[in-house]
Amino acid sequence: MPVKAVTFDFWNTLYADEGQAYKGLTRRRVDILKRALREADAEPDDQELLEVYRQGFAMYLDAWRNERHFGAREHVRFVFESFGLDIPNPLLARTSAVMEDVGLNFHLTLQRGAEEAIHRLSDAGIKLGIVSDTGITPGRVLLRYLRRDGLLHCFSGAAFSDQTGVAKPNARMFNGCLEQLGVEPGEAAHVGDMPRTDVAGAKRLGMIAIRFAGYDDRREPPDADFVIRDHTALLRILEIEE
């Protein structure tokens, strides 16, 4: 059956933070939390707050490994509760949104061959989608990078864990995007860097699983149907003519 659609993971597949801006963005997010706590009459010292922030990140990792989403709202609420505080909904919403928007300052760069492959797949009539887990930075922010690079119009669907409430390899992540694209799993391929989430999730549904090893070559099982280091290799795999 010919492939009618291709879905992509976002992080370390289409884009990567080559400049490791996340270190500076962590400091900015901790400062945002400090100001929010001050509004609630709490003044933890910087080291204590940083430690609680890191505990929140550990909770995110645990949730992600168990196919659950843990984003900005959950992280902010956890920090407040760690200091014995209830957070009013308006403050929670405002603080979470500011925390999310910090993600606009990553130094994200397209991975090798992505721009050419996206344009050529789209021009060939292949429907394109995004299936990606998110943390504090939500899908609405990630889509801004595709818009920045003139690629957003090539995509017809997207499923992010902050929208679905679950994380890959949960089938709801993949099906949510495939439904938007109007294709069945057997008519689609998924490209991602992580065997546990991308490859396993795609193969369970009967999608073609393609592992992108151009940024971080993860070789643990399960094995993908194909391994690529340059996104233009998709054109050969899917037999897209010059």
Residue 137 has pLDDT above 90, yes or no: yes
What is the pLDDT at residue 242?
65
- Across the chain, what does the average pLDDT equal? 95
141-154 tens-digit pLDDT: 999 999 999 999 99
* DSSP one-letter code for 229: S
What is the pLDDT at residue 241?
72
57-76 tens-digit pLDDT: 999 999 999 999 999 999 99
81-119 tens-digit pLDDT: 999 999 999 999 999 999 999 999 999 999 999 999 999
In the numeric block, the tokens 């391994």 are attached to 227
Domain chopping of the chain, boundaries: 5-18+107-237, 22-105
- Is residue 2 very low, low, confident or very high in pLDDT (cuts 50, 70, 90)? confident
Residue 7 has pLDDT above 90, yes or no: yes
Interhelix angle 72-82/22-39, rounded to 10 degrees, is: 50
Residue 1 has pLDDT above 90, yes or no: no
30-61 tens-digit pLDDT: 999 999 999 999 999 999 999 999 999 999 99
Q: List the one residue out of 132, 172, 137 whose CA is nearest residue 155.
A: 132
C-alpha dihedral, 175 to 106 to 31 to 63, nearest 10°:
30
Q: Give the CATH number of domain 5-18+107-237.
A: 3.40.50.1000
16-28 tens-digit pLDDT: 987 677 778 999 9
What is the pLDDT at residue 130?
99
Separation between Cα atoms, residue 62 and residue 186, nearest integer Å: 31
What is the pLDDT at residue 23?
78
Share of the chain above pLDDT 70, in %: 98
**Strands 15-17, 108-110: pairing kind:** antiparallel
Q: List the one residue out of 124, 95, 82, 79 whose CA is nearest residue 241.
A: 124
What is the pLDDT at residue 21?
73
144-191 tens-digit pLDDT: 999 999 999 999 999 999 999 999 999 999 999 999 999 999 999 999
Q: Distances from the Cα of 149 to the Cαs of 96, 111, 146, 180, 210, in angstroms?
A: 26, 12, 5, 23, 23
